[in-house]
Amino acid sequence: MEVIETELQGCLLITNRIFKDERGNFRQTYSKKEFFSHTGLDIDFVQDNLSFSKKGVLRGLHFQTPPYEQAKLIQVIKGRVLDVIVDLRAESETFGKFICLTLDADDSKSVFIPKGMAHGFLTLSDEVCFHYKCDEFYRPDAESGIAYDDQDLNIDWGYRKEEIILSEKDKKLPSFKSFLK
């Protein structure tokens, strides 16, 4: 396992080992012992989620509000995505900044997203299976988000608006400025 801190404080890019032979490949996607050994983080993940999406689907930018914020360990099981993480922690050195990462099932990378960050992804392949480990249970009353096309964040998703498939809920997400209020 290799761990690299991204440009966002506390957000980690993790590369897991892949064992390949003529049959295919094998990889360990998570070990609490390995995770702690390489990151020093003793996280108690309590919920795993899978989403399946077709090409052009954008999910996000989502987060849960305090006191139900979620730290997440994410990875692509099948396909390829543009993954976007926004730092919403007012006390953070990287508050208001975001990163864009291309995650592909073939590269065995995962990302640890600390509490207090918004997350979203755009599917780049025909089919995507996306996996989330969360350290807090999903709470509908704490669900929130920021519009993917927020003018202040100005995220380049690499797709034209008319090509992006959004849920009705995601079409109504507020701006980053309204989050600040």
Confidence at 179, pLDDT banded by 50, 70, 90? confident
Does pLDDT of 3 surpass 80?
yes
Structure tokens at 1: 């396992």
According to DSSP, the β-strands at 47-54 and 18-21 are unpaired
Please give the pLDDT value at position 181.
63
Does pLDDT of 90 surpass 70?
yes
**DSSP label at 132?**
E
Domain that holds residue 86: 2-19+27-180
Structure tokens at 129: 């299976």
Instruction: Fill in the amino acid letter for 1.
Output: M
Residue 129: CB atoms within 10 A of its CB come to: 14
- Mean of the per-residue pLDDT values for the chain? 95
Tell me if residue 33 falls in helix, strand or coil: helix
Calculate mean pLDDT across residues 60-77: 97
Cα-Cα-Cα-Cα torsion 141, 175, 62, 100, nearest 10 degrees, comes to: -170
Q: Catalytic pick from 62, 119, 131, 148?
A: 62
Q: Which CATH number is 164's domain given?
A: 2.60.120.10
Catalytic status, residue 62: yes
Cα(171)–Cα(104) distance, rounded to whole angstroms? 26
Cα(1)–Cα(27) distance, rounded to whole angstroms? 11
Please give the pLDDT value at position 92.
95
In tens, the pLDDT along 143-178 reads 999 999 999 999 999 999 999 999 999 999 999 998
Q: How many structural domains compose the chain?
A: 1
Model pTM score: 0.95
Calculate mean pLDDT across residues 92-112: 95
Q: Catalytic pick from 119, 131, 132, 148?
A: 132
